[in-house]
Amino acid sequence: MGSFLAGVRRLYLSAYNWAVFVGWFQVFYLALKTLKESGHERVYYAVERPLLLAQSAAVLEILHGLLGLVRSPVSATLPQIASRLYVTWGILWSFPETRTHFLVSSLVISWSITEIIRYSFFGMKEAIGASSSWHLWLRYSTFLILYPTGISSEVGLIYIALPYIKASEKYCIRMPNKWNFSFDYFYAAILVLGIYVPGSPHLYTYMLGQRKKALSKAKKA
C-alpha cells in the first residue's frame, strides 16, 4: 500500500510540475515574441491568461507542503507565493493602468525563467528520480540575478499603482457599515511595500543557504 501511494504521489507531482512548466514556458515565449514585434506596452495583454493560470496554480504548493507531499517548508513558500499573487491579481489584474509599464516585461521574464527552471527541475526529479548537474546548478544559481530583478519589478509596479489605487478606492470598505469595519486598499499596498523591506533580504538569505546546501551535497555525491 505504501509503495502504491508513493507512486501516486510521484505521478501527481510530476504531472503538476510539467503542467505548470508548460504554462510558464508559454508566458516566456509570448513575452519575448511580443517585445520583439509590438513593444513592452503589449506584453501583459499577450501573457495575461497563461500568467494568471500559472501563477494561481502555485497555491497548490502551499497545500503540498501542508500535506507533506514536498519537503519545502510552508513558512518559506507562503511569502513568495503570496507576494506574487498580490502583484498578479491585486495590482496588474486590478489596475489596468499599470499594464503598459516596462517593468511588466522585466517582471514576467524574471518570473518565467525562474519557474521554467524550477518546475522542469522538480518535474525531472519526480519523473526519473534524478536531475543533471547543470540543471541543479541552474536551479540554485539563476535566482542570484533573477530574484533581485523580479523583486525590483514587483516593488516598482506596486509603487506605480499607488495613485490609481488611491483615486479609484477599489476594494476599500468605508464606515459606517453593518460590520463597523473599515479597510483602505491604498494603505494596505503601502504596508505590503513595507513588508518587502525586511522580507526580501530574509528570503534571499534563505535561498543562498539552500543553494550552498544543495551544491555542497551534489559535490560530495
Report the catalytic residues. Answer: 147, 154
User: Taking a C-beta distance cutoff of 8 angstroms, is the pair 106, 149 a contact?
Assistant: yes
Three-state secondary structure along the chain?
CHHHHHHHHHHHHHHHHHHHHHHHHHHHHHHHHHHHHCCHHHHHHHHHHHHHHHHHHCHHHHHHHHHCCCCCCHHHHHHHHHHHHHHHHHHHHCCHHHCCCHHHHHHHHHHHHHHHHHHHHHHHHHHHCCCCHHHHHHHCCCHHHHHHHHHHHHHHHHHHHHHHHHHHCCCCECCCCCCCCCECHHHHHHHHHHHHHHHHHHHHHHHHHHHHHHHHHHHHC
Could you tell me the three cell numbers for 169?
Answer: 478606492
- Distance, in Å, from the CA atom of 81 to the CA atom of 62, rounded to the nearest integer, reads 8
User: Taking a C-beta distance cutoff of 8 angstroms, is the pair 108, 51 a contact?
Assistant: yes
Report which of 202, 23, 10, 208 is spatially closest to residue 115, judged by C-alpha positions: 23
